[in-house]
Every structure is written in C-alpha cells, then in structure tokens.
C-alpha cells in the first residue's frame, strides 16, 4: 500500500463526505493507521470542508429579526398589515431598507451557488474516482491481454518449429526406407579419419540426399561441397550447410550415374573443381 497513491486516489474526499463504500472505508482507515501522512491528509480535508461550510452559514441581522417578529405579533393583534408595518418597522430610510433587502438576496443567492458548487465538486470527485478505477482496470486488462497474446504467439512459433522439424524427420525416414534408395557410406580420409557422412541416392529419380554424421565446423569463409565421381571425373553436387541443418537429410543435385561420392572443403559458395588436399570423406557405391 502506497501513501501517496491513497492520498491522490480520491478516496479521502468520498470518506469525509460519507460516500465511500465499506471496502474503501476499511482500506482508508488501515492506511490512516499505517501512514501518518494519510491521517494528516484526512484531517486537513475535513477541516477545510468544515471551514467552507461555516463560511457559508449566514446569521440574520438582529434588527431585521426583531422587526419581523414584531410585525407578526401586530398582525395577529390588529389584523391590519399597514398598521403593523408603520408601527413596528425600524426607522430606516427607504433606500437603506432596499439596500439591506438586496444585500440579503445576494447573500442567499451566493449561499445557493456555493451549495450547488459544493455538490458539483463532490460529484466531480466521485466521477473522477469512478473513471480512474475504470481506466486502471482497462489498463490492467490491456496489459494482461498483450502478455497473453505474446505468450500465444511464442507458443504458436514454437509449435510451427516443431511441426517443421517433424515434417523434415518424416521426409528423412521416407527417403531412408525407400527400397529404391541406395545408401553410400563415406568414411574419413587421412585429413580427418573420424569424419563420417552418408549419401542416399535414389536409383529411380536420380535424386541425391546427404546426411552429415561427423564433420568439423568450417571457418566462416569456407563451405563443404559434395562431388559425384562419374567415369573418373568429379561432378559438382552442390554445397551444403552445417549446424542443425546437417543433422537431417539435405537435398543435393541429381546425377544419372555415379561410382563414388566425396566431400571437400572449399571457399564459401563452392568451386568448379575439387581441392583434393581438402577431401574429408569419400565412399564408393556398394557392390
């Protein structure tokens, strides 16, 4: 609970005016106990309100009061309004009586205006407090809605990634289990004896797929390239990616016939001819 927040919330005005709800009364009284500045703010507003009301309390002039009482008594005794007025009214000039009457009317008018202004003030405080609560509730709901949307978008993005991954795995399994696909193992060369890669060649549609089992991550300006050896000549089958992409099958180029596959490390983007000194894996077709 924050003292300044309580003071500026408008609950003090409602409390002093006797228009606060029970939960608001309990909340404010707890704050008054906990925070001296809240108690001081309540007392200050109570005193200012009492001062304002007292300032509007008008006491009739004693002479006018006595005159009116005498007129009433004479009317009851004589039954003639003219006699009472002439005998009991204070001896003031007509102009003075008119001025006093106008002054009294102004006082009464000002009292009415002041009372109306006070009612409008209280109404304004209530409306401000009401709309403040509505605005606060709207802001809380908006924040919760935005957080929910962000969470939902994050979940949707994660689901899309998993779905794409499952589709890739399904495609990999379909290729590997296809009886028309020939598996070619490519063990490491002297450059990297523990390197391993595998080629899957569809003997019907001639499509080549590559799976990296174990190859070191290349430098930023380097890239691995697959070659098909056909009648002793290297045929470019394309460069391929490493990282997470290398864990699944990567679709390479198509070749009608092949006796051997090999992988070399080339400049990024590939080369027209393989760098034999950078051959990492190689393997012949079985049989």
Q: What is the number of domains present in the chain?
A: 2
Residue-wise pLDDT tens digits, 3-62: 888 888 888 877 887 777 888 888 888 888 888 898 888 888 888 777 665 665 555 556
Mean of all residue pLDDT scores within the chain: 78
CA dihedral 244, 246, 251, 253 (to 10 degrees): 140
In a 3-state reduction of DSSP, which class is residue 90?
Answer: coil
Please indicate, yes or no, if residue 171 is contained in any of the structural domains. no
**16 shares its domain with 140:** yes
Does any domain span residue 153?
no
**Strand order across the beta sheet in which 279-284 lies:** 233-239, 222-230, 260-267, 279-284
Answer yes or no: do 210 and 132 share one domain: no
Does residue 157 fall inside a structural domain?
no
Q: Are residues 118 and 193 in the same domain?
A: no
Co-location of 205 and 132 in the same domain: no
Domain residue limits at 138: 3-148
Residue 168 lies in a domain: no
**Burial letters for 50-80: b for 16+ Cβ neighbours within 10 Å, e otherwise?**
eeeeeeeeeeeeeeeeebeebbeebeeeeee
> What does the buried/exposed string (b/e) look like for 32-47 if buried means 16 or more CB atoms within 10 Å of the residue's CB?
beebeebbebbeebee
**CA torsion through residues 143, 149, 153, 156, sign:** positive
Tens of pLDDT, residue by residue over 54-100, are: 665 555 556 555 665 666 566 555 554 444 344 444 444 444 545 55
Here the CATH number for the domain that contains residue 225 is 2.60.40
Q: Is residue 56 part of a domain?
A: yes
Q: Is residue 163 part of a domain?
A: no
In this predicted structure, what is the pLDDT of residue 93?
46
Is the domain of 16 the same as that of 90? yes
Domain edge (last residue) among 132, 148, 164: 148
């Amino acid at each position: 609970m924050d003292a300044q927040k309580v003071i500026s919330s408008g609950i003090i005005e409602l409390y002093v005016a006797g228009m606060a709800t029970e939960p608001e009364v309990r909340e404010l009284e707890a704050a008054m106990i906990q925070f001296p500045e809240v108690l001081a703010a309540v007392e200050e507003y109570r005193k200012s309100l009492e001062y304002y009301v007292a300032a509007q309390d008008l006491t009739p002039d004693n002479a006018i009061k006595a005159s009116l009482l005498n007129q009433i008594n004479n009317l009851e005794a004589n039954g003639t309004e003219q006699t009472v007025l002439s005998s009991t009214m204070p001896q003031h000039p007509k102009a003075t009586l008119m001025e006093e009457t106008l002054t009294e009317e102004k006082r009464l008018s000002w009292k009415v205006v002041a009372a109306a202004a006070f009612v409008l003030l209280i109404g304004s405080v209530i409306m401000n407090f009401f709309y403040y609560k509505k605005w606060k509730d709207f802001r809380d709901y908006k924040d919760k809605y935005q957080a929910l949307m962000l969470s939902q978008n994050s979940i949707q993005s994660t689901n899309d990634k998993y779905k794409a991954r499952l589709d890739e795995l399904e495609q990999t399994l379909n290729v590997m289990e296809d009886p028309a696909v020939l598996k070619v193992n490519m063990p490491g060369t002297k450059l990297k004896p523990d390197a391993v890669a595998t080629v899957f060649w569809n003997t019907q549609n001639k499509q080549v797929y590559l799976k990296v089992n174990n190859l070191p991550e290349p430098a930023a300006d380097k890239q691995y390239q697959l070659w098909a050896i056909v009648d002793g000549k290297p045929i470019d089958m394309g460069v391929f990616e490493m990282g997470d992409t290398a864990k699944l099958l990567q679709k390479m180029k198509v070749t009608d016939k092949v006796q051997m596959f090999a992988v070399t490390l080339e400049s990024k983007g590939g080369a027209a001819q393989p760098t034999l000194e950078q051959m990492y894996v190689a393997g012949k077709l079985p049989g």
